[in-house]
Amino acid sequence: MIEKRRTLAGVMSWIGLGILVAFVLIALLAPVLAPYPAQGPYAQFLTPPNQAPSFNHLMGTDNLGQDVFSRVLWGAQTSLEVMAIGVILALAVGFPVGLYSGYVGGSIDKAILLVMDSVYAFPGLLLAALVAAMLGKGAFNIGIAITVIYIPLYYRVTRNQTLSVREETYVEAARSLGAKPWTIMWVYIAYNVLITIPVIFALSAADAILTAAGLSYLGLGIQLPTPDWGLDLSVAQQFLADGVWWTTFFPGLMIILLTIGLSFLGEGLNDLINPLLKKGRA
């Protein structure tokens, strides 16, 4: 039974990883893959607007006559960029702060926890919208807005895990051998905490894609003419009633696929790593 679960988790992780790699390749190779390279990502009025998918335009064209297939390919760059900035910065801030907070404990820990919890209490999209409105547009700023939402998540997971690792007997042993607090934190505790991170890394990345798309959809994120799935979805919506389904369908499909891929990766890793963790502790 357990073996079967493990195999399933392995398959899920590989599928998730495959999807993620495919998207990274799409993003990197967008200039090569896009069928109208000469026009680049911003080219407009190439062809009559709102054309159904055909051999010339695999995913049709939008209201400005842009090739949807090209925009979907270029859009992968924007999405991955925003996602990467968001989760990597969140990890870079949340992890050390969580480690420090959990290690020193006491009133410093309580104070940091209070701040983080109050940030956590905000609805994610609302907070991101607020930060995005303050910082202004652009992929980097949207990444920062997303960072703000996820710092408390990384902080909490790191801090709680630190609290438990701190009490492990090998930490006491290291202390009895005269290890410095800094060494105890970064050599003896950090690695043992870090193994819980990949799972939330993948899951929060999936969530970040949705949040970024949501921000763009609300008009607070990426601005035209930059190709972005959420933004394209938002613009295309008004033409849906005229039977123009392809301009919403394909960007939406990409968002869903990438999110599913990252979720598979996260859940798969979770199932793979957790039994190992439990076995290691026993």
Partner 1 sequence: MADGESIGIVGETGSGKSTLGKAVLEILPPRTKVSGHIFFHGKELSHLDRERIRHIRGEEIALIFQDPMTRLNPLMTIENHFIETIREHQRVSRQEALARAETALASMRVPKSRIQNYPHEFSGGMRQRIMIALALVLNPSLLVADEPTTSLDVIVEAQILEILEDLKRRYKMSLLLITHNLGIVAEVCDRVAVFYAGKIVEIGSVDDIFNRPVHPYTRLLLQSIIHLSTKELHSIDGVPPDLVSPPSGCRFHPRCPYAQPMCREKIPPLEQFRPDQLAACHFGKDFL
Residues that bind partner 1 (CB under 8 A): 168-170, 172-180, 183, 187-188, 191-192, 195, 280
CB of 57 to partner 1, least distance (A): 53
Indicate the burial class of 102 (C-beta count within 10 angstroms; 0-12, 13-18, 19 or more): buried
Structure tokens of 203?
A: 């899951």
Least separation, in Å, of the C-beta of 106 and partner 1?
8
Shortest distance, position 10 Cβ to partner 1, whole Å: 22
Cβ at position 195, least distance to partner 1 in Å: 8
For residue 60, what are its two tokens?
């049709």
Whole-number Å distance between alpha carbons of 88 and 96: 13
Distance CA 127, CA 147 (A): 11
Smallest separation (angstroms) from partner 1 to the CB of 109: 12
Closest among 15, 5, 73 to 202, alpha carbons compared: 15
Q: Output 110 or 180, the one with its CB closest to partner 1.
A: 180
CB atoms within 10 A of CB 19: 19
State which residue, 1 or 176, has the beta carbon closest to partner 1.
176
Which of helix, strand or coil describes residue 55?
Answer: coil
Complex with partner 1: residue 125 or 190, whichever CB lies closer = 190
Q: Which two tokens stand for residue 34?
A: 């896009």
Return the number of the residue (38 or 282) whose C-beta is nearest partner 1.
282
> Is 42 or 170 the residue whose CB approaches partner 1 more closely?
170
* Pick 48 or 178: Cβ nearer partner 1: 178
Asked if residue 267 lies in contact with residue 204, where contact means CB atoms within 8 angstroms, the answer is no
Token pair of 121 as six digits: 């209490």
Residue 101 CB, shortest distance to partner 1, in Å, is 16
